[in-house]
Amino acid sequence: VTARPVPFHGSRALGSKSSPLEGFRILELASVLAGPSIGQFLAELGADVIKVENPRTGGDVTRGWRLPGDAAGKPSAYFAGCNLGKQSVAIDTSAIQGRLLCQRLAAVSDVVVASYK
C-alpha cells in the first residue's frame, strides 16, 4: 500500500523563512475539529503538516459538510477552514501495509496529533 494524495488545494505559503516552526514535521491523524484545528495552527506557524485520511470513507468526513447550493466535488468550506496549509495523503490503516506506513511517517515526524472523536 502506498500513500496517494487526496485532492485539496490549500495554501502552502502560509509562513515565511522566519516561521517559528519551519522545519518541523507534524503527522495528523485526526478529523472533524479539535485535531485538524491544532494541525492548522501548527501549519500557520510554518510546520509541514501531513494529514492522513481514510480512502475507504472518502477522507475526513467534513469534506462533505456542504451547505445547500455549495458545489459538489470540492471540499466543503468547513474542511477548507480547518485544513489550510496541509498535505493530505490517503492511507488505509485497516491494512497492515497502511499501518506500517503510518508508523514510518510517525518515526520521521516531530509531533503526532491524534484525535478521532
Q: Give me the tens of pLDDT residue by residue for the chain, a chain 117 residues long.
A: 555 544 444 444 444 457 899 999 999 999 988 999 999 999 999 999 999 999 998 888 888 888 888 888 888 888 988 999 999 999 999 999 999 999 999 999 999 999 976
For residues 15 and 3, what is the distance between their CA atoms, to the nearest angstrom?
25
What's this model's pTM, rounded to 2 decimal places?
0.80
Q: Are the C-beta atoms of residues 113 and 35 closer than 8 Å to each other?
A: yes
H-run or E-run covering 50: strand 48-53
Residue 77 grid cell:
468550506
The three-state secondary structure class of 69 is coil
